[in-house]
Amino acid sequence: MNAPHFRTPSGKLRARGAGIPFTGKPGRWNAITDVQGVEVGYCTLIKGEGPLVVGKGPVRTGVTAVFAHGRANANAAAFAGHFSMSGNGEMTGMAFVEERGRFDGPITITNTHSCGLTRDVTAQWLFSQLDASAKLDQPFWLPVAAETYDGALSDINGHHIKPEHVLAAFDDARSGPIEEGSVGGGTGMRCYEFKGGSGTASRLVDYAGRQWTVGAFVQSNFGKRHLLHIAGIPIGAEIPIDAPLVSDAENGSIIVIVATDAPMLPHQLKRIARRASYGIARSGGIASNESGDLFLAFSTANQAVVEQHEGLLAIEALAEEPMSRFYEATIEAVDEAILNSLFANETMVGRDGRIVPHIPIPRIQAILRRHGRLLEIP
């Protein structure tokens, strides 16, 4: 039994630990950090309770940072591709990714009204790490920053995320098993009208005598309850909402970051990013009218080549034939990451006493058992 597959570092139950069946073979930690070099850090802000007072709280928010090549190599570039399934949201730097097929520096994920701040702080921090005049390609940065809306639970208009919180997420960056649920940018998020947030998973792909890793990280804040499917079973239809909605459930989004150590070119990574849509659809996501479903895929391979500014490039890249294997791995990892964001979580009370419940694990287990779809974990 691989303990990190079943519980988070703090002991929260992951979907696999609850007996949810999945296809594919996960990596050592079943996380995006299974891709060598990738590190994830969080800063979580939870304070106050009661009626909303803009500028004071209550606060249920945070920042997530994803480093493609680790914090020690923060400025390192990576080939990348992006896809917008539903554009009612923001992911900065995508014009540059489209133009150059790469990005530099850490990715930040936060709430809607802090996205610009995390982007700017990232640029300032990168300048402090490496003088812009030393950059060979261009003397500036265009950081990737993404967001989903946590205003149903948090004082989003109070702008509680400050530069020090972004830096704290950078300082927290690590490899290995990582926390999930109401942490980092996912702190105030909802998913299928249950408590959602941060989730991750990975898959291994064998090809050409080598083993490659695909890892996914999600910030889940989307979905109507009745659409939720788990292991192919329409779970949401059997768990109706028995309390007034916090707010319109469509006012949500999902950010997906897919990482791989497989040597892919930008056009291949764009194709990988598109497949995140299928992973979301497995659990019932429909990219609703008010949803921002924005995806970025990157490869940690060819790092030196990505940063080479002159001369001829010697690039290792996958041929087209194996791409379907990586599509399958991406879809499986995204699906499991979303469910992990639900299972490794807890009920949250936010602004104005609004309650978003934790997904009822025993009830879901009973439904899946009835359908012969539950794995009994010893």
Just list the catalytic residues: 253, 291, 293
DSSP letter at 157 equals G
- 44 residue type, one letter: T
Find, among 145, 139, 87, the residue nearest to 115 by Cα.
145
Whether 265 contacts 301, CB under 8 Å: no
Cis ω for the linkage preceding 106 (within 30 of 0): no
> Strand, helix or coil at 163?
helix
Neighbour tally for 201: CB within 10 Å? 34
CA atoms of 264 and 170, how far apart (whole Å): 27
Cis ω for the linkage preceding 51 (within 30 of 0): no
Residue partners of 67: CB distance under 8 A and separation at least 6? 37, 38, 39, 40, 41, 73, 74, 106, 107, 173
CA atoms of 237 and 80, how far apart (whole Å): 38
Tokens of 20: 């949810």
